[in-house]
Amino acid sequence: MEFKVGDLAQMLSGEVLRTTGNNSVLVKIGDKEHTIRLLKSGTNEFEFILDNTFHHAKILQSGSAEVKLMLDGQPITVKKHSKLTEVLEKASALGGAGGGDRNLASQIPGRVVNISAKPGTEVKKGDVIVVLESMKMQVAIKAHKDGNLKEIKVKQGASVARNDILAVIE
């Protein structure tokens, strides 16, 4: 599995190689093998030894795309699907269909799981209009400009392709 930690520029790959007994597992992170021994485990908190060094971790927030945790008193974010997240963040930064355009387009293919806004309502840039599910992740499609939501062009449960028009904002 590939993952990205915090603001590190490089992508890390990791995998569990095998269990070694005594609550220990052998993992490979990048090109190095490490032994992790679990000492204590709770719902959102655990203690472990990684390569003979004690660590305490507490999960602050866990979602389908990332996990925010406190590791030895330092907050870090681990992105689970970092390549998809990076594509979505870039697409969001570009403003979806563009600031002057009336049409709100999908940046990804997926299935409509929720329609968050109703036609005829006023929306602000950044308001969630539709939620899509793609690759088992839910992605909020947000308004690309302030305006009146004139029309929703999709129905809940429908499949959409990349660049399909989801809504019209005037």
pLDDT in the model for residue 97: 40
List the domain range (segments joined by +) for residue 164: 96-169
pLDDT in the model for residue 100: 47
Cα–Cα distance measured from residue 156 to residue 125, given in angstroms and rounded to the nearest whole number: 22
Residue 87 lies in a domain: no
Total number of domains in the chain: 2
Strand order in the sheet with 137-142: 137-142, 128-134, 110-115, 159-160
Residue 91 lies in a domain: no
pTM recorded for the entire structure? 0.45
69, 106: one domain? no
* DSSP, res 87: H
Q: What is the mean pLDDT of each run of 10 residues along the chain (170 residues)?
A: 62 80 84 88 85 90 76 81 54 45 86 94 93 89 92 92 88
74, 102: one domain? no
